[in-house]
């Protein structure tokens, strides 16, 4: 497995544990948080056991205001249940961007936020992975989060390409995809981008992008490629029908497209 190119970093700072904080004094910064799900908070409130609420994570800013970094649904449940205080782990001296990074670090292993929430919070935090992703998408006049002619819905797939192979590979992947399949929602399919990105990431120094786009285009539209990927993946059985297997299938199809018409000594091995 390739080593991740991007990491989350946070400066040393003061932290106090086990602090009892009035719930009315707490604030949410939506740019440094996932979207609050009121129904989820109400469900927690309906079955709330105060002794089991645990400790939330709070940032005390320079102006004295307290912002929730993690635990907003438990905080909201306490509000709904009429509980006046909550225990907190309080961090001091963080900027808004650093609060966003702390949120991502705290949610890496458990209660992981939706990929699109992680992306937006990461942008607020100035995390290079998300900032670089945003820069490349804007270069191609694309947004992330919903599938359309100008939008890529495969958030996790895009971030995986960026993390494993870097911004240059992601940039080339989008360029080749558009040249091969045109500008449409189908062109930005996560399986297609994943397979193409893997190919360029592994063999990009051996490949001319314009030639690659022509060879891919010769084998059909994005819809036809997607259909073939799903068909080949399903033939591999239940254990081969997941996203990872489909990206691998897409990668192999790109390898086959590039190798078509080439002598054996000039072919790329999948």
Q: Where in the chain are the domains? A: 15-109, 127-266
In 3D space, the residue among 66, 61, 62, 63 whose CA is nearest the CA of residue 20 turns out to be: 66
Span 15-109 CATH architecture: Alpha-Beta Complex (3.90)
**Model pLDDT for residues 166-190, shown as the tens digit of each residue:** 999 999 999 999 999 999 999 999 9
Which of 126-165 are b and which e, b meaning 16 or more Cβ less than 10 Å from the residue's Cβ? ebbbbebbbebbeebebebbeeeeeebbbbebbbbbbbbb
**Model pLDDT for residues 190-249, shown as the tens digit of each residue:** 999 999 999 999 999 999 999 999 999 999 999 999 999 999 887 654 444 456 689 999
Note the pLDDT of residue 34.
80
């Amino acid at each position: 497995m390739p080593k991740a190119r991007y990491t989350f970093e946070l400066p040393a700072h003061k932290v106090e544990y086990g602090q009892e904080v009035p719930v009315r004094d707490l604030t949410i910064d939506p740019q440094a948080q996932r979207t609050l799900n009121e129904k989820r908070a109400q469900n927690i409130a309906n079955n709330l056991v105060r002794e089991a609420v645990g400790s939330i994570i709070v940032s005390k800013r320079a102006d004295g205001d307290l912002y929730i970094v993690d635990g907003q649904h438990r905080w909201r449940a306490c509000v709904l249940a009429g509980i006046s205080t909550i225990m907190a782990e309080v961090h001091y001296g963080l900027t808004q961007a650093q609060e966003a990074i702390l949120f991502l670090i705290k949610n890496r292993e458990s209660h992981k936020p939706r990929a699109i929430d992680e992306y937006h919070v990461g942008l607020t935090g100035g995390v290079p992975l998300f900032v670089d992703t945003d820069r490349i998408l804007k270069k191609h006049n694309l947004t992330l989060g919903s599938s359309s002619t100008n939008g890529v819905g495969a958030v996790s797939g895009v971030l995986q390409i960026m993390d494993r192979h870097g911004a240059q590979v992601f940039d080339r992947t989008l360029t080749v995809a558009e040249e091969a399949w045109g500008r449409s929602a189908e062109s930005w399919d996560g399986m297609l981008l994943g397979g193409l990105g893997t190919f360029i990431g592994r063999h990009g120094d051996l490949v001319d992008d314009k030639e690659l786009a022509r060879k891919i285009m010769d084998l059909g539209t994005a819809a036809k490629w997607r259909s073939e990927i799903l068909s080949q993946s399903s033939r591999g059985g239940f254990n081969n029908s997941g996203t990872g297997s489909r990206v691998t299938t897409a990668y192999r199809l790109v390898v086959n497209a590039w190798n078509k018409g080439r002598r054996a000594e000039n072919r790329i091995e999948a």
